[in-house]
Amino acid sequence: MSDVKRAVTKEDIFNIQSITDPKWSPDGKGIIFVKTNLEKDKDTYISNLFYYDNTSEQVTQWTYGEQKDIQPIWSPKGDHLAFLSTRNKASQLFVIPLAGGEAKQVTNCTNGVSEFEWSPDGKRIAFQGALKPDESFDRKADEEQEPNETKPEVKVISRMKYKGDGAGILSEEYEQIGIIDLETEEIEHITKPGHDYGLLAWSPDGKCLMYTADEAENKDFSFDSDLVLYDLESKTSKIIETDKGFVTDGEWSPDGKKFAFVFHGQVYKNASHPDILVYDKESEETLNATKDLDFPVGDYMSGDILQGARMPGVQWGNEETFYFPVSEYGNVALYEGNDSGNIKQIWDGQQHIYGFDVRSDKVAATVATSTEPGELYVYELSQQEKQKLTKYHEEWLSQVKISEPEEFVYRSVDSWDVHGWLMKPIEFDETERYPLIYQVHGGPHAMYGNTFFHEMQWLASQGYVVAYINPRGSHSYHQEFVDAVRGDYGGNDYMDVMNGLDHLLEKYEFIDEQRLGLTGGSYGGFMTNWIVGHTDRFKAAVTQRSISNWISFYGVSDIGYYFSEWQIQADLRNIKKLWEHSPLAYVDEIETPLLIIHSEQDLRCPIEQAEQLFIALKRQEKDTEFVRIPEADHNLSRTGKPSLRLERLQHLLRWFEEKL
């Protein structure tokens, strides 16, 4: 093999595989996980289950086909494996015997299954799926039914939450919970029609389920849910008292005495740091185990290579100790804690842990770094040593040139430190000067960090300096920092971005100040629009899936009315404030050539936001183009059709090549 390495190409997305959702077998002899490939010829994604054997140190593929097989969970005895599969269109629950035999489909729910949990005796499975009020789980979907070619359906809308990005116009469906007896295949429906529930965990004694419930009558303004303990014998439920907020994950301690869960409070609306709360079943008290931790529990990393990654919120190691992920300073680390509030970091580093499973003193985890896509690892807690188990990207990495990001920190408004990264072009020559592409992430409560980012590597391979920062509003920093952007869009967050540019130009003399490029998506698209309306320092910019007008966004986005109230802190009774924070109000000042990229099926930031901006710019004969991406939603750059992802990248590069 030649020692000459090549540049990363946009087509290399087909060489990057997504390794996710590791689960120890109950006997500790191996790990099941999911591997997802981008299929170029079929222009889609394919997921299958793979097993790593500790003894042979070999990986075996367990499922095959062109569907998505995801979310594997072992039966308690380890003699069966359950998973979800799209092999019959809607995602259904399948069970495969480990002694041999084909996977058996055990649900046929009209709208599919999204979550499930084994009973402790392995005889039943609780599952979650969407149902209309008049539907039941045992209604068989007619796979042979001819498509309905009658008149288009007229929809009568009576609720504000009537559409969703990636889903379109929503039917009146609610998340429900059922339990299937694997022997009789009978299904017991345990929740009330017309309300939303979220399955969490089955108690170790098999007598109760923990789930969440949103039974509010006015769901348009319901953003909370109750934590519910459901007794399977008496068919009664009990609400576990918490502050206003909602729960996203939880697990019983092995002895069934305590329940640890991830709680999202509403003090700072969607900017609030999640915490780990622990409910003691005997005392009926709930304690906040992470109240003194000023970082968010969970994974808030932005990226473009992971498919279907599922990060556990909390897992018990024994009766007293649990483990949970924390986003901090652009990394995702693993912490250990107990209900007394004693917490400590046990696995850190410049890395992105995006999946884990604990068994005894070992952690199976999927981990990525800024220079290597995710692989499967085992981490020894007692010795604090890790071992890489898979090497799916080893051959590819041996063929391509990778730019290693350099971290930097600078002082911005309020004397706060702001954190960022810079990537040099792969053929870097310190005597040359290079154009810069400056990236702003979405959210705004997300983060850039130490994970592999194909787009960034590709731009560096094309001869650009690439820089990206975490301005105020970004996660992985203190609560005040995350909350500071709310009500101040275009204020000190803008100053953070521009102060970062000043820092880059002062510190890195190889950046050509006359060839500065800017881009970002979602909130990053808003910020791109805002920046070019307030400065002409950038020679070219690309705005993606952006917001230009908060007044119209309020009514057209699937989250518009409440997101605007939470983030801009204004509604339609305060048009003045919505307009003052709208980039469209500053079109007169835009002189930077601006490419607008937007997906036609984006309901998070609907395409009318791009249309308004484009027409306003063209009316004033500004230098602009509008790229409309069909058959794509807000998540194009992460989960869109591979061919359309390549189109987006090509237009991004084309604009900078032409203008810089």
pLDDT, residue 333, reads: 98
Task: Tell me the average pLDDT across 128-135.
Answer: 94
User: Which secondary structure element, helix H or strand E, spans residue 552, and what is its range?
Assistant: helix 550-556
Active site residue 56: no
Could you tell me the pLDDT band of residue 601, with boundaries at 50, 70 and 90?
Answer: very high
DSSP 354-415: EEEEEETTEEEEEEEETTEEEEEEEEETTTTEEEE---TTHHHHTTB--PPPEEEEEE-GGG
pLDDT, residue 3, reads: 73
The catalytic position among 47, 253, 634, 637 is 634
Question: What is the Cα gyration radius of the chain?
Answer: 25
- Burial label for 371, CB within 10 Å (0-12, 13-18, 19+), is middle
DSSP 424-475: --TT--TTS-EEEEEEE-STTT-B--SS--HHHHHHHHTT-EEEEEE-TT-S
In sequence order, the 6+-apart residues with CB closer than 8 A to the CB of 106 are 92, 93, 94, 95, 125, 180, 182, 185
Phi and psi at 270, nearest 5°, equal: -80, 5
In DSSP terms, which residues pair with 39 in a beta bridge?
44
Residue ranges covered by each domain of the chain: 397-659
- What is the token pair recorded at 141? 């979907």
Q: Please say whether the beta carbons of 259 and 228 come within 8 A.
A: no
Note the pLDDT tens digit of each residue in 511-555: 999 999 999 999 999 999 999 999 999 999 999 999 999 999 999
For the chain, give the percent of residues with pLDDT over 90.
Answer: 94
Q: Please say if the pLDDT value at position 141 is more than 50.
A: no
pLDDT, residue 610, reads: 98
- What is the token pair recorded at 585? 């109000």
Alpha-carbon distance of 372 to 402, in angstroms, equals 9
User: What's the per-residue H, E or C state across 58-74?
Assistant: EEEECCCCCCEEEEEEE
Alpha-carbon distance of 162 to 169, in angstroms, equals 6
Task: Tell me the average pLDDT across 481-500.
Answer: 98
CB neighbour burial string for 581-595, b if at least 16 within 10 angstroms, e if fewer: bbbbbbbeebebbbb
pLDDT, residue 2, reads: 56
pLDDT, residue 424, reads: 98
Spatial CA neighbour of 458 closest among 426, 422, 504: 426
pLDDT, residue 339, reads: 86
Alpha-carbon distance of 150 to 112, in angstroms, equals 24
pLDDT, residue 151, reads: 84
Spatial CA neighbour of 402 closest among 465, 460, 468, 466: 460
In DSSP terms, which residues pair with 199 in a beta bridge?
211
Spatial CA neighbour of 79 closest among 98, 105, 93, 101: 98
- Tell me, what DSSP letter sits at residue 297? B
pLDDT, residue 529, reads: 98
For the chain, give the percent of residues with pLDDT over 70.
Answer: 98
pLDDT, residue 139, reads: 60
Note the pLDDT tens digit of each residue in 31-61: 999 999 999 999 999 999 999 999 999 999 9
Q: Look at residue 144 and give its three-state secondary structure.
A: coil
Alpha-carbon distance of 362 to 297, in angstroms, equals 21
Could you tell me the pLDDT band of residue 149, with boundaries at 50, 70 and 90?
Answer: low
Q: Please say if the pLDDT value at position 140 is more than 90.
A: no
Note the pLDDT tens digit of each residue in 180-220: 999 999 999 999 999 999 999 999 999 999 999 999 999 99
pLDDT, residue 48, reads: 98
* Pairing state between β 315-316 and 275-280: unpaired
Q: Please say if the pLDDT value at position 647 is more than 80.
A: yes
pLDDT, residue 101, reads: 86
Cis peptide before 72 (omega within 30 of 0): no
Alpha-carbon distance of 45 to 70, in angstroms, equals 12
User: What's the per-residue H, E or C state across 622-654?
Assistant: CCEEEEEECCCCCCHHHHCCHHHHHHHHHHHHH
The catalytic position among 75, 522, 546, 557 is 522
Task: Tell me the average pLDDT across 389-411.
Answer: 98
Alpha-carbon distance of 173 to 219, in angstroms, equals 13
Can you list the pairs that 395-398 forms with residues at least 24 positions away whose Cβ atoms lie under 8 Å?
Answer: 396/12, 396/15, 396/16, 397/372, 398/1, 398/5
Active site residue 634: yes
Which superfamily does 397-659 belong to?
Alpha/Beta hydrolase fold, catalytic domain (3.40.50.1820)
Could you tell me the pLDDT band of residue 143, with boundaries at 50, 70 and 90?
Answer: very low
Alpha-carbon distance of 483 to 473, in angstroms, equals 6
* Pairing state between β 594-599 and 540-544: parallel
